[in-house]
Amino acid sequence: GNSAENCPFPDTWAFSQGCLSKRQVLSTIRQMQKLLSTQEAAQLQGMRNLKKQLTVLQNSVHKQILPDPWPSCPHLAVPMNGRKLGRKALVGHEVHFLCDAGFHLVGSETRTCLDNRTWSGQQPFCKSINDCASNPCANGGTCVDGIERYTCLCPSGWSGSNCQSPVTGLDIPIVLRSAITSSHLHALVVSISALLPDVDECQLFQSRWQTRICVHDCVNLPGSYRCICPQGYLLNTDLNTCNDVDECTNSQHNCSRGEICVNVFGGFRCVRPECPKPRHNTSYIKTSAFQCERNPCPMDSKACRTAANSISFHYLPLQSNRTVPRVLFKMSTTRFVGDSLRFAITGGRGHSTFAVQRSDRQTGELILTSPVAGPAVLEVELEMSEFARRVLLGKHIFRVMTFISQYEF
């Protein structure tokens, strides 16, 4: 209320404090303005301070580490060629590892997230299983390990997943064996070999009986091969088979005087056929190198009548394991005067492998009945008896000695 009527003086304003002059009013206004400015400045400063404090508070709130409600371990990688079971990496959880087929796990199968937020155990990896561990490649093949498989690198001449088969394209001897002679065989194998880098023909063909290129043994040569024969044999001109050396005819034997050289397969034997000693009025005389005849003796003596009229010696060379039955020897007489002949085995070592049979009226045969593996010597004594009206006219003894060689050739 600035009503002038309430104040008795001109140029005066009534206030709650009373009537004030114009000068006093102006002075009061200036003081109030000053006060407001001061308050405004103070408030502004206060606001700025408050803003600053809010910023500091805000920053401190941002920076403050709050306690982790879900403590966990670092991420674990999945192993190559394997799998990881379990996705959670929280403290107390487990993760399991597996490998794909063909691999095995090296390291920890299970890892646990520990309280210190690290994993237990070691990081596993999957290692390929060695498929070559069983040495599956035959014939010198090289094994290359793969995943759940292996590959054999075969040496020349072998094929198949395990190098178990000879190369079929070269398997010619078995196909042609029946159609070609052994001298052709050598030429054929050498000409096949000439088309290829050196082939070990011996390994390729000799190892199996059906495709053998050498009757005895084989030596590989660059671009070729050579058959070799054991001692006592010479390589035949067919370059495949072995021929026995006849030591007796070319004087390569060392038989002493009085001995007879008998050629056998792979060697020779020195024999000394001897007539029986005189006994009970009977005696023998040598009529040839292999034959003894009984001297005349009194026929009223039983010893004389039962003694053989002749004893002959026979030496037979034979290879090992010959097929049976096999006729080894035939006996007959040129001076047959009776009406029947009887043949029998009367002794000798190993005579169970022999049998005797009549082949015609005047001839008997000694037969080998089971195969014999050499080296061996078999002896058998045969008797041929001549009868007339069932009366014994005479006996002839055949002593047969069979020399069986070590080899089948």
Site string for Ca ion, 151-170 (x = CB under 5 A): --------------------
If the CB atoms of residues 232 and 364 are measured against Ca ion, the closer one turns out to be: 232
If the CB atoms of residues 91 and 221 are measured against Ca ion, the closer one turns out to be: 221
Least distance to Ca ion, CB of residue 246, Å: 6
If the CB atoms of residues 225 and 354 are measured against Ca ion, the closer one turns out to be: 225
Least distance to Ca ion, CB of residue 202, Å: 8
Q: Which two tokens stand for residue 268?
A: 């020779």
381 binds Ca ion (CB under 5 A): no
If the CB atoms of residues 100 and 198 are measured against Ca ion, the closer one turns out to be: 198
220 binds Ca ion (CB under 5 A): yes
Out of 171, 198, 238, 381, name the contact with Ca ion by CB under 5 A: 198
CB under 8 Å to 151, separation ≥6 — which residues? 143, 144
Out of 139, 240, 263, 312, name the contact with Ca ion by CB under 5 A: 263
81 binds Ca ion (CB under 5 A): no
Minimal CB distance residue for Ca ion: 244
Least distance to Ca ion, CB of residue 221, Å: 5
Least distance to Ca ion, CB of residue 312, Å: 23
- Per DSSP, the three-state class of 31 is helix
Out of 158, 185, 244, 395, name the contact with Ca ion by CB under 5 A: 244
If the CB atoms of residues 192 and 297 are measured against Ca ion, the closer one turns out to be: 192
- Give the number of residues in contact with Ca ion, rule: CB under 5 A: 5
If the CB atoms of residues 219 and 344 are measured against Ca ion, the closer one turns out to be: 219
Least distance to Ca ion, CB of residue 249, Å: 10
Contact in structure between 189 and 220 (CB atoms under 8 Å): no
Least distance to Ca ion, CB of residue 166, Å: 14
- Secondary-structure breakdown of the chain: helix, strand, coil percentages, each rounded to the nearest 5: 20, 35, 45
Q: How many CB atoms lie within 10 A of CB 292?
A: 23
Least distance to Ca ion, CB of residue 317, Å: 8
Structure-derived torsion over alpha carbons of residues 134, 136, 140, 146, reported in degrees to the nearest 10: -90
Distance in angstroms (rounded) separating the CA atoms of residues 268 and 404: 11
Rounded to the nearest angstrom, the gap between the alpha carbon of residue 55 and the centroid of all alpha carbons in its chain is: 83
If the CB atoms of residues 164 and 224 are measured against Ca ion, the closer one turns out to be: 224
With b for 16 or more beta-carbon neighbours within 10 A and e for fewer, the 144-177 pattern comes to eeeeeebebebeebbbbebbeebeeebbbbeeee
Query: Cα separations (Å) of 179 from 172, 175, 185?
Result: 11, 8, 10
If the CB atoms of residues 244 and 386 are measured against Ca ion, the closer one turns out to be: 244
Distance in angstroms (rounded) separating the CA atoms of residues 392 and 388: 7
The answer to whether the Cα torsion of 352, 357, 363, 367 is positive or negative is: negative
Contact footprint for Ca ion (CB under 5 A) = 198, 220, 225, 244, 263
